[in-house]
Amino acid sequence: MKTFKALLIREYWEHRGAFLKTPLIIGIVMSVILILFYLTTDRFAMKMSGGELADFGAKSLDSVDPAKIQFGIDVFMLGSASLYHFVLFFILFFYMLGSLYDDRKDGSILFWKSLPISDTQTVLSKLVTATIVTPLIFVAGVIVSHLLFFVVLSLILLLFGINPFTVLWANVNYINNWGAFTVGCLMQALWLLPVYGWFLFASSFSKRRPFLIAVFVPVMFGFIWYWYNALVNFNMLQAGVFKTIGIYLARGFSPFTSGLEFSAESVDFDATEQTGSEVIVSMMNGFSNPDLYYGAVFGIIMTAVAIYVRRFRNTT
Amino acid sequence: MSQILTAQNVNKKFGNFQALKDVNISIDKGKIVGLIGPNGAGKTTLLKSVLGLDSCDGDLRVLGIDPFKKRDELMKEICFIADVAVLPKWIKVSQLLSFTEDTHPNFSIEQAKAFLKKTKVNMDHKVKELSKGMTAQLHLAIVMSIDAKLLVLDEPTLGLDILFRKQFYDNLLNDYFDNERTIIITTHQVEEIEHILTDVVFIREGEIVLDANMEELNESYFEVMVSQENYQEALNHKPLTIRKVFGKHIMLFKSSSRDVIETLGDVQRPSVSDLFVALMQEEEA
């Protein structure tokens, strides 16, 4: 246990820039955009109406239905959280491709392997970093970013003489929206387990470019499958490989919509109008979807293969 | 247990290439063994099998453990330096030490810090900021702070200057080695380590061609400076090699007794590197 904890901390040390700084930088960028937005609007309003228009608009906020304000804040919080899910996937994509390859490339694997740590522990520490540790850091990052954004927004509201506590802070569904992101991270990890397992395998197996194995092998396989069915079975529509990969990726890219059906009849066209709690319930539908478990089994098998390969592949 | 390592009929094939051929050796506790062979002879392959980094056929036991099956267990008792440049570049010295402390039951962080105090290595440095020599000092400090039964060094001083190399082996002998420990070293700079070795193993094309301790070598191999008048007679004794230096012939003999050889000229102890060259040529002929 002590060893495993040390392994997780090692991953954090090595990738602190990507894991910790990225969510904070996105939060800072959102706040800076808000300030720029305020400055341009303010200048525009000054030029047009000597500032009266902006003041008038701001004042009218007091009489807006709190439900509508709540809805607007929900859209902002879930929308930006969705962006974080997307960014998280890309960070993990590059993290996992390098995770069992970079140390072989620079030879440091020979140091790691001189310590009494089994290859199983090493590979699992990478998987746990991708599925649990980094998402948790991102949850904290989202909370800090949202709070920073709300503080900046409060200052702007104060400039207009509006009480931010009644208009903003009292209308934020903290638990539902941050809860939705947290559950979203969990569902993202589960839906992407087959993809992560495949990345670990590519990283462990590759002698030159893990990217090529990770991306082009499935693409090639998909094309061969497609043409095989088109030419031999005269069935152009049976593009099963791409569809399967596509569904898992789509659910992983955007876990908030992962509980929705993809067939035309059952699509909920008002997906964006869901509140945080509705999103959570919808995502939980994934647990009753057998695809989730098939994917997880594939992910576990690929991780096992990655461990097997890791035992004897020490160089690139 | 006095036998640290035993190998019986160990073979390793890469495709059609036989990297190790029926390797049989056993290494006892308290030895410093030099594993010496030309490039591509199978040294690294053998060491990789010993360290559990690769599989092999045959019966290989290190401390009674099958290395490939239980590498993590074995690594509690042995440690190795595979190359000077294998420490991860991104890590800080302090992080490296605390990670090793958390993962290695026989590592003493106080000892490592004490070793590093004598060097210019700073706790806040990242490995990539260290010079090659300092990186080697750091690695040696970590390895010497591990209470291990077997230390394996594969070209540990490659690319270091002579001062660092000398200091490296001095530290190893004075601060680390005792009769409870065993060291296996491979290097191309044989001259630098031959005075510290107790045993040598020569390997060539995957086969062990010599496995002897230094005393045995001194009793069966002789280097003789033969003067011109004894030249013909010396040739009759079938020297392994002949070198000509300043008009005199230096011949290397393998003989069971020193008495006959002594009549030919001044007898010296051959250096391991000369012996190595001679044995490699003999095999080729």
Residue type, A48: M
Helix crossing, A66-99 with A276-284: angle to 10°?
Answer: 40
Confidence bin at B74 (pLDDT 50/70/90): very high
Give bridge partners of residue B150 from the DSSP assignment.
B78, B182
pLDDT at position B176 over 60: yes
Residue B36, φ and ψ in degrees, nearest 5: -125, 135
pLDDT tens-digit map of B84-126: 678 999 999 999 999 999 999 999 999 999 999 988 999 999 9
Q: How far apart are CA A187 and CA A185, in angstroms?
A: 6
Which residues in chain A are closer than 8 Å to B72, comparing Cβ atoms?
116-119, 121
pLDDT of residue A265: 52
Instruction: Give the chain A residue nearest B77 (alpha carbons).
Output: A116
DSSP secondary structure, B23-78, as one string: EEEEEETT-EEEEE--TTSSHHHHHHHHTTSS--EEEEEETTB-TTTTHHHHTTTE
Task: Measure Cα distances from A104 to A99, B43, B71, B89, B136 in Å.
Answer: 10, 20, 17, 13, 19
Q: How far apart are CA A96 and CA A201, in angstroms?
A: 9
Reported ipTM: 0.88
Confidence bin at B282 (pLDDT 50/70/90): low
pLDDT of residue B145: 92
> Is the pLDDT higher at A99 or at B239?
A99
Residue A102, φ and ψ in degrees, nearest 5: -60, -40
pLDDT at position A274 over 70: no
pLDDT at position A269 over 60: no
Q: How far apart are CA B110 and CA A140, in angstroms?
A: 36
**Is the domain covering B3-205 a CATH 3.90.1150.10 domain?**
no
pLDDT at position A263 over 60: no
pLDDT of residue A239: 55
Q: CB A103 to CB B79 under 8 A?
A: no
Residue type, B56: C
Confidence bin at B76 (pLDDT 50/70/90): very high
Instruction: Give the chain A residue nearest B98 (alpha carbons).
Output: A6
pLDDT of residue A268: 52
B188-196 average pLDDT score = 83
Which residues in chain A are closer than 8 Å to B102, comparing Cβ atoms?
2-3, 5-6
pLDDT tens-digit map of A68-79: 888 888 889 988
Across A120-129, A174-183, B150-159, least confident range: B150-159
Q: Where are the domains of chain B?
A: 3-205, 216-284
Helix crossing, A193-205 with A174-191: angle to 10°?
Answer: 50
Distance from CA of A136 to the nearest CA of B (A): 22
- Under 8 Å between Cβ of A16 and A137: no
- Under 8 Å between Cβ of B202 and B227: no
Which residues in chain B are closer than 8 Å to A15, comparing Cβ atoms?
none
| Partner B contacted by A106 (CB < 8 A) | yes
Q: How far apart are CA A92 and CA A98, in angstroms?
A: 10
Per-residue buried b or exposed e for B249-275, using 16+ beta carbons within 10 Å of the residue's own CB: bbbbbbeeeeeebeebbeeeebebebb
pLDDT at position A95 over 90: yes
Q: What is the CA radius of gyration of chain B?
A: 21
pLDDT at position A234 over 80: no
What is the side-by-side order of every strand in the sheet holding B199-204?
B78-81, B150-154, B182-186, B32-36, B199-204, B207-213
CB-defined contacts A:B, below 8 A: 83
Q: CB B72 to CB A121 under 8 A?
A: yes
Distance from CA of B78 to the nearest CA of A (A): 8
Q: CB B51 to CB A10 under 8 A?
A: no
C-alpha A306, offset from chain centre: 23
Closest CA to B158 of B186, B138, B179: B186
Reported in sequence order, the residue ranges of chain B that DSSP labels E, i.e. its strands, are 3-14, 17-28, 32-36, 57-62, 78-81, 150-154, 182-186, 199-204, 207-213, 221-226, 241-245, 248-254, 265-268
For the stretch A63-70, contacts whose Cβ atoms lie closer than 8 Å and that sit 24 or more positions apart, written own/partner, are A66/A170, A66/A171, A69/A167, A69/A168, A69/A171, A70/A171, A70/A172, A70/A173
Confidence bin at A194 (pLDDT 50/70/90): very high
Percent of chain B with pLDDT over 90: 39
pLDDT of residue A192: 94
> Is the pLDDT higher at A39 or at B127?
B127
A264-282 average pLDDT score = 65
Q: Which of B51, B68, B91 sits opposite A13 (nearest CB)?
A: B91
What is the side-by-side order of every strand in the sheet holding B57-62?
B17-28, B3-14, B57-62
B248-261 average pLDDT score = 78
pLDDT of residue A51: 64
Which residues in chain A are closer than 8 Å to B55, comparing Cβ atoms?
312
> Is the pLDDT higher at B185 or at A250?
B185
Residue B201, φ and ψ in degrees, nearest 5: -125, 120
- Under 8 Å between Cβ of B85 and A107: yes
Q: CB A108 to CB B89 under 8 A?
A: yes
- Under 8 Å between Cβ of B232 and B208: no
How many Cβ atoms from other residues are within 10 Å of residue B66's Cβ?
Answer: 15
pLDDT of residue A278: 81
B38-64 average pLDDT score = 90
Percent of chain A with pLDDT over 90: 51
pLDDT of residue A237: 58
Confidence bin at A8 (pLDDT 50/70/90): very high
Confidence bin at B1 (pLDDT 50/70/90): low
B181-207 average pLDDT score = 87
Q: CB B71 to CB A107 under 8 A?
A: no
- Under 8 Å between Cβ of B269 and B194: no
Which residues in chain A are closer than 8 Å to B104, comparing Cβ atoms?
115-116
pLDDT at position A202 over 90: yes
pLDDT of residue B236: 77
Instruction: Give the chain A residue nearest B54 (alpha carbons).
Output: A312
Task: Measure Cα distances from A235 to A50, A229, A245, A272, B100 in Å.
Answer: 68, 5, 19, 36, 58
Q: CB B102 to CB A114 under 8 A?
A: no
Q: CB A106 to CB B100 under 8 A?
A: no
Q: CB B72 to CB A311 under 8 A?
A: no
Instruction: Give the chain A residue nearest B96 (alpha carbons).
Output: A10
pLDDT tens-digit map of A136-164: 999 999 999 999 999 999 998 888 888 88
How many Cβ atoms from other residues are within 10 Å of residue A257's Cβ?
Answer: 20
Which residues in chain B are closer than 8 Å to A312, comparing Cβ atoms?
53-55, 68
Closest CA to B265 of B237, B241, B230: B230
pLDDT at position A238 over 60: no
Residues in chain B: 285
Instruction: Give the chain B residue nearest A116 (alpha carbons).
Output: B72
Tokens coding A275:
């509140």
> Is the pLDDT higher at A56 or at A185?
A185
